[in-house]
Amino acid sequence: MRKQTLDQLVASGEKIAMLTCYDATFAKVCAAAGVDMLLVGDSLGMVLQGAENTLQVTMQDMIYHTRCVAAGAPETLIMTDMPFGSYEHDKEDACRNAQALLDAGADIVKIEGGGLVETTRYLAERGIPVCAHLGFTPQSVQQLGGYKIQGKTEESARKITQDAIDMSAAGACMILFEMMPAALAGHITETIKTPTIGIGAGVDCSGQVLVIQDLLGIYTGVAGKNPADYKAPRFARNFLAGSDSIQQAIADYVQAVKKKTFPAAEHSY
């Protein structure tokens, strides 16, 4: 079986079900359960490494985990985060680092922020598929003052909308919206031709993504903190609750995304 392209997924008219995972075992289970795309996220800094944020994750980390996921799901479309410091300052460095991730097994690379139009265009012109990450951008957590919803004010909503339009025009093949009002994400999805993926951005995006540890209800916060003090984000849902296996929980997530029953209102802003 040949790997589907993003164009084929979008042309099918179905919602795209994506999960974030970091290893071959979970990648293989996700593929068997019908997940359309896998994201190798720099969230591994918190989920796997126990850090406070994603900022210490390296290119070596992302290359290693991309190889692991690609080994477990060779026929599944894979997106990989470009880590902090690997793309922001020099578009030629960004190109070299993006190519290293493609060589490791990624099909698409993801960069954060809307001010990277020239970098996006530079990569796209060289045949590197780019996903733009807008709304809450974890690599900017310190500048944003913590894990806060974006796009709530008129000015912020206008900026995110324009960033999405600009990144789409620059050649981004996909845009990911995180932690922003569902109405805003839905409006932008209708406005641009580029497919969108939401996480805490409502049901009207072209697809959804969750971290697999959140889907299974097993992530309890970063190392060194009491698990009892951890509160799962609003956009997360434990699909393992009431399911008899991990694979069934993942399959239930896929069906919920495609039937538009997830995210529901209680998972949205």
Beta bridge partner(s), residue 16? 207
The number of angstroms, rounded, from the C-alpha of 261 to the middle of its chain's C-alpha atoms is 19
Q: Let me know if 92 is a catalytic residue.
A: no
Residues in the chain: 269
Which CA distances in Å does 122 have to 27, 83, 163, 170? 30, 18, 17, 9
Burial of 117 (0-12, 13-18, 19+ CB in 10 A): middle
Q: Judge contact between 207 and 194, C-beta under 8 A.
A: no
Alpha carbon distance 180, 158 (integer Å): 12
Q: Quick one: tokens of 219?
A: 């992530």
Closest C-alpha to 109, from 91, 87, 85: 87
| Whether 139 contacts 84, CB under 8 Å | yes
Rounded alpha-carbon distances, angstroms, from residue 267 to 179, 180, 201:
10, 11, 9
Q: E strands of the chain, at which residues?
A: 16-20, 37-40, 77-81, 108-112, 130-135, 174-178, 196-199, 207-211
CA quadruple 201, 203, 208, 212: dihedral, nearest 10? 80
Catalytic residue chosen out of the listed positions 154, 155, 178, 266: 178
Catalytic amino acids?
178
